A and B are shown apart, each in its own frame.
Chain A
Amino acid sequence: MFTRSGIPISSPASRRPSIARDSTRPAVRASPGGKDAFEALFRELYQPVLRFFAARGCSQEECQDLAQETFLRAYKSFASFRGDAKPSTWVLTIAVNLWRNRSRDAVAAKRAGDEVPLDDDPLDPGSAEGPLDEAMAGERRRLLRGEVKKLPPKMRRCLLLRVYKDWSYRDIAEILGVTVETAKSQVSLARSRLRASLAEHYPELDDDPDDRGG
């Protein structure tokens, strides 16, 4: 990688572990149709594309089908790819859009299926909360909503990402474009503010799990 002295080379991209160029791999040669060039792209990105779909909960077979479809679409538009983005970004864009459409179709199919969730069984009185419980829960949530709304946007977002889905601080920092330290301090401040007014409703605010690090 970029070796230098005092030269700003270690961009975020260059810090990541690069896929080493395989010296045994035949160099890409010009050929009609550019299939050789495309094969090189395929070999570099096939597994990452599989990983992308695997992370979305697709089965192995689905991952392979979707990856295949991604590269088929990529090939069809390869000629018009003008280098506005890195090839990896371009291929991933196709994969994301494919997954978006597939998710949309799945939601539509689910709605059309008219499914009844099991826990909505009207014959099971034990599964529902009483009116008083519901009112208390509603009131607590109303208070929480009011307090969360008062938080500055950055603090609110950090809190939501950390507490709601337990993202790591590194992830939060990347998602919001802040430093890890900022993400930590914002979550800590948000907790303090909520604790002042909501500690009796949410005892876990007293037990700051962020002390465990993140």
Chain B
Amino acid sequence: MARNTTLSEDLGALAEEQRSRLGEPPTTEQLIAYRDGRLPEEEAERIRDRLAVDPEWAAVYLDLKRFPDLDRPAAGGDSDADVDDAWRTLSSQLDRTETGAGKVIAFRRAAIRPAAGRALLALAATLILGLGLTWLLVGRDRPQPLPSGEYHVVEVTGATFRDARLAVPRAAVGLAFHIDATALDPPGKVVVALLDALDHVVRQERMAVEAGQRKIVFRVASSSLEVGRTYQLGVWPSDTSPEEPALIEMVFTPVFED
């Protein structure tokens, strides 16, 4: 006589039935939207249904949540030397790829976007449209020690202020974020912080917003910033739950132009 199947095995069979009914797994973009809390509840429920019966995609989802801190050994490339080797290999491929790619204009831009779905999205959106980037130049009258053709181009993107660009000489000594505070209701204390991509704090400041105050200004010295790095600007009311930070990402990326 054949053995009885276990509860786990039979639930597995039910899960498989359910998987077949649900069809294709969610796209990576849907999983990221689910992770970030940007999906309507109905769609989020569908994702949960899928993940509950699909261990493969549940594992992918967990990796998406935890990346880059995946706590398992890498398959090769664990040492710096291996990473160096891998980079050399890739680098030579990139060089070949770039051949004939056209002239590259050496400038960079920063984009500021709200992290959608966060608790303070409204504040964030208003924050960035504050046209808010003002570079504080080292003596505007001073000759610019600027390598020919190299500029930082700061692009501010937001709900109503898209594609605005400010060409900023490299001699800028700092960056001031003019943050629209009118969306903070009721007024109170906020924490404003600039973090790098690894969540290290570049600078933070606790600031008070008074009733009727229209904006707050948060300044960061350019000596604290590295070109080519990713930064995130976050604003939290001082009593916000730690689980619901509102982050705005500011990303420096190169721009290629023909």
Q: A33-B256, A153-B49 given as contacts; is B243 within 8 A of A21 (CB)? A: no
Give the chain A neighbours of B77 by CB distance below 8 A. 46-47, 50, 63-64, 67
Contact yes or no, A83 B250, CB < 8 A: yes
- CB <8 Å contact, A48 and B70: yes
Say whether B90 contacts A42, CB under 8 Å: yes
Q: Which residue of B lies closest to A201 (CB)?
A: B4
Contact in complex: B106, A30 (CB < 8 Å): yes
- Asked if B51 and A176 sit within 8 Å, CB to CB, the answer is yes
User: Contact between B11 and A53 (Cβ–Cβ < 8 Å)?
Assistant: no
- Interface of chain A, helix or strand or loop or mixed? helix
Considering the complex, which residues of chain A in the window 34-48 have a beta carbon less than 8 Å from any beta carbon of chain B?
34-40, 42-48
- DSSP majority for the B interface? mixed
| Contact present for A32 and B104 (CB under 8 Å) | yes
B185 interface residue, CB < 8 Å from A?
Answer: no
Contact A14 B52 (CB under 8 A): no
- Any A CB within 8 A of the CB of B167: no
B 52-76 contacts with A by CB, 8 A:
52-53, 55, 58-70, 72-76
Shortest CB distance A129–B (Å):
4
A130-B72 CB under 8 A given contacts A9-B191, A28-B229, A71-B90? no
Using A29-B227, A78-B253 as known contacts, say yes or no to A4 and B204 having CB atoms under 8 A apart. yes
Given known pairs A9-B191, A17-B69, A21-B198, the reply for A63 and B75 (CB within 8 Å) is yes
Q: What 1/0 mask marks residues of chain B from 145 to 177 whose CB sits below 8 Å from any chain A CB? A: 000001010000100000000000000000000
> Cβ of A16: which chain B residues have Cβ within 8 Å of it?
66, 69, 199
The 8 A CB mask of B1-35 against A (1 = contact, 0 = none) is 11011111011111101000000010011011000
Q: Which residues of B contact A43 (CB under 8 A)?
A: 83, 87
List residues of A (124-171) whose CB comes within 8 Å of B's CBs. Answer: 129-130, 133, 137, 140-141, 144-145, 148, 153, 156-161, 163-167, 171
Those of A75-119 within 8 Å (CB) of chain B:
75-76, 78-79, 81-89, 92-93, 96-97, 99-100
Known pairs A145-B14, A161-B58, A164-B15; A2 contacts B201 (CB<8 A): yes
Q: Contact check: which of A58, A75, A145, A175 meets B61 at CB < 8 Å? A: A175
From A21, A44, A72, A141, B68 is in contact (CB under 8 Å) with: A44
A161 to B89, CA, bound (A): 41
Chain B interface residue number, banded: 35 or more
Q: Does A11 contact B (CB under 8 A)?
A: yes
The answer to whether the Cβ of B240 comes within 8 Å of any Cβ in the partner chain is yes
The answer to whether A36 and B228 touch (CB under 8 A), given A55-B63, A83-B250, A163-B7, is: yes
Please give the distance in Å from B104's CB to the nearest CB on chain A: 5
- Residues in chain B near residue A11, CB distance under 8 A: 199, 242-243, 245, 247
Mind listing 30 A-B residue pairs with CB under 8 Å?
Answer: A2-B195, A6-B238, A7-B236, A8-B236, A8-B240, A21-B196, A21-B200, A29-B227, A39-B87, A46-B87, A48-B69, A51-B73, A55-B59, A60-B75, A63-B74, A82-B157, A84-B113, A88-B67, A88-B68, A96-B60, A129-B2, A137-B5, A144-B7, A158-B52, A160-B14, A163-B11, A175-B62, A177-B48, A194-B7, A202-B6
User: Ordered nearest first, which 4 A-B pairs have the shortest CB separation?
Assistant: A34-B254, A83-B251, A28-B228, A37-B228
Known: A39-B91, A83-B113. 8 other contacts (CB 8 A): A8-B238, A8-B239, A9-B204, A33-B256, A75-B97, A81-B251, A137-B4, A164-B8
